[in-house]
Structure 1
Amino acid sequence: MSKLGIHSFVWSAGSSQAELEDALKMTLELGFDLIEFSYLDPRQADVAWLAKRIDACGLGVAVSMGLPRDGDVSSDDPSVVANGVTILERAIALTRDLGGQKLAGILSSSHGKQEQAPTARAWKTSAFTLANAAHTAKSAGVTLNLEIVNRFESNLLNTVSQGLAFIEDTGSDNIFLHLDTFHMNIEEADIGLALRHAGDKIGYVHLGESHRGYLGTGNINFAAIFDALRAIGYDDYLTFESFSSEVVDEDLSLKTGIWRNLWSDNVALAKHAHRFIDLGLETSRLKMELMKAEHKANH
């Protein structure tokens, strides 16, 4: 069914060649198919070298990010929107240069808690801007995947239904949803139903627990999630994301409120995640086969 990815921040928040090499090594050794990099600065990392190493490891790669306040493409200030466009174009180029096809994250607005509700103008400005960015991305062989996040990290797109309406307003066929179980657990009435509603507009999925730690130790119903993903035929990447104060990226840790040390052994964490996801997907497959067999037997 799906291929498994892991967020590089499970390994390190650094971008030195040694840290990147170690992240690739651990991702490959533990059997993941893709590595995701967030906020990777080409001025600090050797992109050409990294692309060659990713290719040599046979790994897929995705890039994720959140727009800063001075690059908010939903802003009323044209200069701020223009800066956001520049940031998106650089991220698209980085994704392409690393050999990736997915740029994901909070691309429709700035990342962080807002103090007011978005206006109709903000929605339209963001949709228009992203439609143009999606055209640029398509030429680079990259899709834009808009992360639907909780109300404390964006005021624009918090639910699948909002995301689908937004994509429709862009008129683009190169914009998809980036769904994250941590955020969906906060905002959706029913995660399984929301995944079914999103259907083929899902371009990328993050699997994260309600407290950001070990999968299965929080309150998210992953069985329902795996069942929904199988029901809609999702066969793209499922990327494990977990944060702890053990590995700190200052900007992201502040915006996402990573105050607790939910794990210290990242190898044990990643091994557990791989087993957990594999078993969940296998169980959902067996349930579907059982239902199909029973249906056939009764007809």
Structure 2
Amino acid sequence: MKFSVFTASTPEWEPAEAAQMLANQGWDGIEWRVTDQSASDEPGFWAGNRATWPLTGLEESLPRIAEVTKAAGLEFSGIGGYARSNNHEDVERMLAATAALGARQVRVTVPPRGDGNYREVFDATRADFEWIATRAAAHGVKALVELHHQTLTASASAALRMVDGLDPSHVGVIHDLGNLLIEGQEDHVSAFQMLGEYLAHIHVKNVAWYPEEPVDGVTTWKEHWAPLATGQADVRAYFRALAAVGYDGWVTLEDFSTELPLEQRTRENLDFVKDAAARAVRDD
């Protein structure tokens, strides 16, 4: 099992700084965030993120991305892309960039639920992924569907429906522990077994739910990103589930909690997941 960090969660660091800091801490790889983002005076996860490579002009940035990654001695766990499945031009660019970098796999996002009739949008997106599978094969890479709340593929069951029958050498699924606490939760071992050879990648973060102020006597609950050890997901149990099905691929951390400073957060996260993986092997 190898461990990497998705740079959406390292907004304060410039690319070279992020790569070197993670390498010094002992991470195996990095998953670069690639998207055009809103400007911000302060670095943030989704706007002003300094460890993000812009989609605009991406092709010209590829030598620098490769140089920064190689200089730090890191591998690519994949590319954290945001190209929407129905935007064939940008999907093609992301697949080509992934191949050029030797990064092997790249996330392709799916439409949000509520973006029209679910069944109709799902069927159209499935057709997009049939095209994506052929283009990923042409580039020798794999396109990944993420389990993500508020999208067509919030659960493993939905993601399997999206990719079932396509070539698992070129289409796979990112199982995301934190996202599933918001929407799509299924028993982990069952989900891994269901996905089978489509289980291509793992994202780990944690979430906690807190009550909001009651309105008219009714309490609602809101999710907040939480540290690995204190969120509602049992991260150690998650690694035991991965061990139970023999998963030995990449695990990418994307911790959006802010209780700890970034450098301490990434360092302690690596210690935590390495310990969780070691315990899972001992307990298996």
Common topology (TM > 0.5): yes
Q: How many Å apart are 1:277 and its aligned residue?
A: 0.4
| Residues 1-299 of structure 1: pairs in structure 2 closer than 5 A | 2-12=1-11, 19-38=14-33, 39=35, 40-42=53-55, 43=57, 46-61=61-76, 62-67=78-83, 73=85, 81=86, 84-106=87-109, 109-110=110-111, 112=112, 114=114, 116-119=116-119, 121-151=120-150, 154=151, 156-170=152-166, 173-186=169-182, 187-210=184-207, 211-244=224-257, 262-288=258-284
One-letter amino acid of the counterpart of residue 132, structure 1: W
SS in 1 for 2:201: strand
SS in 1 for 2:248: coil
Gaps in structure 2 of 5+ consecutive residues? 36-52, 208-223
C-alpha contact (below 8 Å) 1:208/1:242 kept by paired residues: yes
Equivalents in 1 of 2:238, 2:230: separation in Å? 15
**Which structure dedicates a bigger proportion of its chain to helix?**
1
Equivalents in 1 of 2:275, 2:102: separation in Å? 30
Deviating above 3 A after TM superposition, structure 1's stretches of 4 or more consecutive aligned residues are 169-173
Equivalents in 1 of 2:195, 2:102: separation in Å? 27
SS in 1 for 2:82: strand
- Alignment length (residue pairs): 246
TM-score, reference length from structure 1: 0.75
C-alpha contact (below 8 Å) 1:51/1:97 kept by paired residues: no
Of the two structures, which has the highest relative contact order with CA contacts closer than 8 Å and spacing of 6 or more? 1
SS in 2 for 1:46: helix
Percent of aligned pairs sharing the same letter:
20
TM-score, reference length from structure 2: 0.79
One-letter amino acid of the counterpart of residue 179, structure 2: H
Q: How many Å apart are 1:129 and its aligned residue?
A: 1.7
One-letter amino acid of the counterpart of residue 66, structure 1: Y
C-alpha contact (below 8 Å) 1:6/1:241 kept by paired residues: yes
Equivalents in 1 of 2:167, 2:194: separation in Å? 19
One-letter amino acid of the counterpart of residue 99, structure 1: G
Give the corresponding residue for 2:39.
Answer: none
Q: How many Å apart are 1:117 and its aligned residue?
A: 4.2
SS in 1 for 2:242: helix
C-alpha contact (below 8 Å) 2:203/2:252 kept by paired residues: yes
